[in-house]
Amino acid sequence: MSSKIYVAVFVILFVFVIGEVGYLFYSSKQPALKNNAVSTIEKSITATSQPERQGIQAIKNNVLARLSIANSGVLKSSILTNHYEGKVIELSNKIDDPAANYGIKIRFQGENGEINGFFFNKNEAFQKLSVFRYVKDAPLEKITINDLKVDDFISIDEKLNLLDDDLNNFVIEIKITIMP
């Protein structure tokens, strides 16, 4: 009789231990996936256009974490559109320089004094960058990047594909408009 009690206690303890190990394994995987996804998004955003991080972070980490919980089998499209405005304080065009590792560098200052900047790689500059001049009561005038000057007030609209971790395709479109 006592051997049956020992076997029953052993089976109950064995099932309990297996359940605990399974729970620990499952719970340890969940936060790692969330943190890894947020880290991937942050790396993708900063690696492509390399914005300068001097002021207060505009898109908070909790927003990025919220975006990262969608499952890849369900979320089929995720396009982020950003709009920036400011006065150009630094501009460097290296599209035609074979030794340069970037195409365009733009730093601009917002009306609140915050500074932001981008490095657009040569592929982005050639294939995805459009430059326009706003003319009142007329359609936007298409111009070239060479028409952009320091002290111009600009807006930059960029579209990013958040589901593409290939940084060559992450940027969908960049539109710079010189404002009056």
Q: What pLDDT is attached to residue 160?
A: 92
Classify 61 in phi/psi space as left (phi over 0), alpha (psi -120 to 50) or beta: alpha
pTM exceeds 0.75: no
Number of domains observed in the structure of the chain: 1
Residues 140-167 have a mean pLDDT of 92
The CA distance from 125 to 103, in Å, is 6
Tokens (6 digits) for 27: 């719970």
C-alpha distances out from residue 72 to 114, 121, 153, 162, Å: 35, 28, 39, 11
Report the alpha-carbon distance of residue 160 to residue 44 in Å, rounded.
10
Has residue 64 been placed in a domain?
A: no
**Could you tell me the strand order of the sheet in which 115-120 lies?**
115-120, 104-109, 79-93, 153-161, 171-179, 129-133, 141-143
H helix runs in the chain, sequence order: 2-49, 61-67, 122-123
Query: Is the residue at 31 inside a domain?
Result: no
CA-to-CA separations, 177 to 17, 73, 140, 156, in angstroms, rounded: 63, 37, 8, 6
Judge whether 123 lies within some domain: yes
Within-domain flag for 142: yes
Please indicate, yes or no, if residue 171 is contained in any of the structural domains: yes
**pLDDT, position 144:** 94
In terms of residue numbers, what domain contains 122? Answer: 77-179
30 inside domain: no
Does residue 38 sit within a domain? Answer: no
Residue 39 has pLDDT above 90, yes or no: no
- Most confident region among 22-36, 41-55, 76-90 by mean pLDDT: 76-90
Give the pLDDT confidence score for residue 33 in this predicted structure.
41
Q: Is residue 48 part of a domain?
A: no
